[in-house]
Chains A and B, each alone.
Chain A
Amino acid sequence: MMEVCGSSNVTLREFGCEQSLLSRPDGSASFVQGDTSVMAGVYGPAEVKVSKEIYDRATLEVLIQPKVGLPSVRERSQEQCVRETCEAALQLSLHPRSSLTLILQLLHDDGSLLSCYLNAACMALMDAGLPMNCLFCGVTCAINKEGEIITDPTAAQEKESRALMTFAIDSTERRVMMSSTKGSFSVHEMQRCIAVSQKASEKIFQFYRDSVRRRYSKTL
C-alpha cells in the first residue's frame, strides 16, 4: 500500500447554493457540488409527537429521500451522520418539547454525497433562522490507488479510490464534528485528510459568508 505522497487534485468542484426556494418549509436550500445536487427543507420548531418529546430540548428528525425507491440502510446511516452533526451545532435546548424536521432530497448523485447533504443541511438551517452554536460544512476526501488525496471526488473517482472519508467541520475552531470513513488508511493519511479538509472548509465557510452577505444586501 502506498502512503500519501503528493496532493495534486486538491480542488473543490464549482459549488452553488440557493436558499428559500421552496414556499412551504420554514427554511429551504439546494446545494450543488459539481453535478451532485441536494435539496433540503426544515420545519420547526413545531409541535412534537408525545412519543418523541424530549423534556429539555427539541427533537431533531432527519429524513433523507432517495431518488428511486424507498429509503434503505444507506440512507439511514447518512441520516444518522447528518443528525448527530446538526444536534451538535444547533442550540436545541432553546426549544424544549418541540420538533425540528430536516428533510434532504437527493436530486443527483455524482460523488461526495454526504458532504453535500451536510452543506445543504447547514444552509437550510441558516435559512430557517434556527439558533446555532456554530456553522458546519462537510468535506469528502478520497485517497486513490497512487496515494493522492482528492477532495470533493466525483462518483468515478470515489469508485477508483482506496479510502473515502467525510468530515463535518465546525466554523469556530475548525474541529472535526463527525467523521465517516470507508476503506483502509493509516493514521498519517487520516490526519493529512483532516488537515486538507480543514483547509477546504475555509473556502466553504467563505462561501457561506458571501452568500449570507449577498442575501442581506440590496444589490446583486
Chain B
Amino acid sequence: MKDTPLSNCERDFLLKAIEEKKRLDGRQTYDYRKIKITFGTDYGCCFVDLGKTRVMAQVSSELVAPKENRPNEGIMFFNTELSPLASPAFEQGRQSELSVKLNRQLERCLRNSKCIDTESLCVVSGEKVWQIRVDVHMLNNDGNLMDAATIAAITALCHFRRPDVSIQGEEVTVYSVEERDPIPLSIYHMPISVSFSFFQQGTYLLVDPSEREERVMDGLLMIAMNKHREICYIQSSGGIMLLKEQVMRCSKIASVKVSEITELITQALLNDKNARKAGGRGGFAESMPQERITALKMDETPVETTDVTERANDIVKKTEAPPQTVPSPVVPAPGVGQVGLGLQNTWGIEEDDDDEEEGMGEEDSGEEAGGKVAKMEVDQHKKEQQRGDVVEISDSEEEEVVILHPETPVPKNQKGSSSHQKGAATSKKKQKK
C-alpha cells in the first residue's frame, strides 16, 4: 500500500509554522516528546513509546561458532523489522532502503561503539560463543524511529539475561532459568542517539522530528552519545551544509538530552528489577492503561460447563455415522489395483467415444501406417458389433437416442481389441529397437 502524500498546503503550513518557531504538537524547539519505557514478561523485551512512535525490541541469545578472525569474541546481530503495522508504506519481507539504513545506524551505534563486552560472551575460544540477537520491531511510525530504536535496543540489552553455562573439560552445559540465575550482559556505556532536523537549508533546527516534520525537513543530523559525553557516532544526511558552530551546538543539546534519557532508562530498569524481586506480575499485560475508555480488562472467569457433556453426547448421537461405502478396488491386471476414473463403467450407458480417444492416446506417435490401418479396421468392426447389439427405438429421427442391451458384450470386446492393438504397438516398438 502506498503512503498518503503530503499536500502542498500542509507542507507550506508546516514550514511557515517552523519559521514562526511553532510546532504542530505545541512543543518547543528542543523538546522531546514523552518517552515511556515498559518491559515485557520475559527478559530482554522492551517497549519504547516516543510520543505516538512505538518500538519493541527483543533480545535473544544462541550458542554459535565464532567468526574465524575473532575466535574469542561473541557476535552481536541486529535486525530491524519495519513491520507494515508501523506504516502502510512498509512492506513485509522486503528490505527497503529505510530498513537497511536504520539497521546500519543501529549497528554503528551499538556494535561499533563497543558498548557491549563481546569477549565476555566467549564460552570456548574458537568453538562456541554467544550470539546476541537484537530484533527491533517498529510498531507505529510517528517520526524519529531511530532514536526510539536505539533507546529500545540498549534498554533491552541492559534488561536481557543470558543463561548460565559451565565448562567441564570438553562438555558445555547450559543451565535453564530454573537451575541457575541467568547472567546479565556486561555493558560499558549506553549510547543514545539524538536526531536533529534542519529546515530551510539549515536555518531552523528541531529536536526529535515527528513524522510530518520528517517529511518537510531538508536534512537530518544524528548524534549518538553516552552519558560521559563521548560521541559514539555522528551522521548527517540530506545533503545540507552545516557550519561548525551548528554541529557544536547540536552536540551540546545532545549531551543534555542523553543524560536525561539515560537517567530515565536506569530508573525504568531499577523499577522493573524491584517489581520482579517483589514477585509482582509485570509485562505488557500489566502496562495496559486502565483509565482509558478504549481499554477494558476482565478477571479470571470460570466457564459454566454443567450441560456440556450431555450436549456433546446429544450431538454425537444425532449425527449418523457416514455410510461405509468404500468402493472395492478393481484389479485390471495382476499386480495392479485401481479405483475411480478410467475403469470399467458401472453405469448403464457405455461411452464409446472416450474409449476410442483413450485408444488414440495410447497409440504411439511414431507408429507406422500399417498400424493405423489395422486400427481403422478394428474400429469398423467395433461399430458393426455395436449395431448388432443396439435396440433401435424408432426410425431415423431418434437415431441418436439408443438403449444398449444391459448385458452387452461390447465392453469386453472393446477391451480385448484395444489390448490387442496395444500389444501390436509395443511389438512394433520392439522391432524398431
Contact = CB atoms under 8 A, between A and B. Distances in A.
B52 A23 contact: yes
Contacts, number: 169
Given A24-B141, A39-B139, A70 B303 contact: no
Interface stretch (B11-19, B83-91, B180-188, B236-244): B83-91
B84 A101 contact: yes
B300 A11 contact: yes
Interface string B112-141: 000000000000000000000101010111
A71 B140 CA distance: 19
Contacts of A65: 81, 83, 85, 92, 137
Interface of A: 7, 10-25, 28, 30, 32, 34-35, 37, 39, 41, 43-44, 46-47, 63, 65, 67-71, 99, 101, 103, 105, 107-108, 110, 149, 151, 187-188, 191-192, 194-196, 199-200, 203, 207, 210-211, 214-215, 217, 220
Interface of B: 1-2, 40-42, 45, 52, 54, 56, 58, 60, 79, 81, 83-88, 92-93, 133, 135, 137, 139-142, 283-285, 288-289, 291-305, 308-309, 311-313, 315-316
A194 to B, nearest CB: 7
Q: Which of B2, B56, B285 has the most CB of A within 10 A?
A: B285
Contacts of B313: 188, 191
A207 B296 contact: yes
Nearest to A40: B85
Given A12-B303, A23-B52, A35 B288 contact: no
Contacts of B88: 24, 43, 46, 101
Contact of B303 (A43, A105, A203): A203
Nearest to B92: A63
Contacts of A44: 1
Nearest to B211: A24
A194 B308 CA distance: 9
A82 B284 CA distance: 23
B308 A16 contact: no
Contact of A35 (B41, B86, B295): B41
A108 B284 contact: yes
Contacts of B315: 191, 194-195
Given A16-B296, A24-B140, A68-B133, 17 more contacts: A10-B305, A11-B302, A24-B141, A25-B85, A34-B285, A47-B2, A69-B135, A70-B93, A101-B84, A105-B85, A151-B303, A195-B311, A196-B303, A199-B305, A203-B301, A203-B303, A207-B296
B309 A192 contact: yes
10 contacts: A16-B285, A32-B285, A39-B139, A43-B1, A68-B60, A188-B316, A191-B313, A195-B311, A199-B303, A207-B296
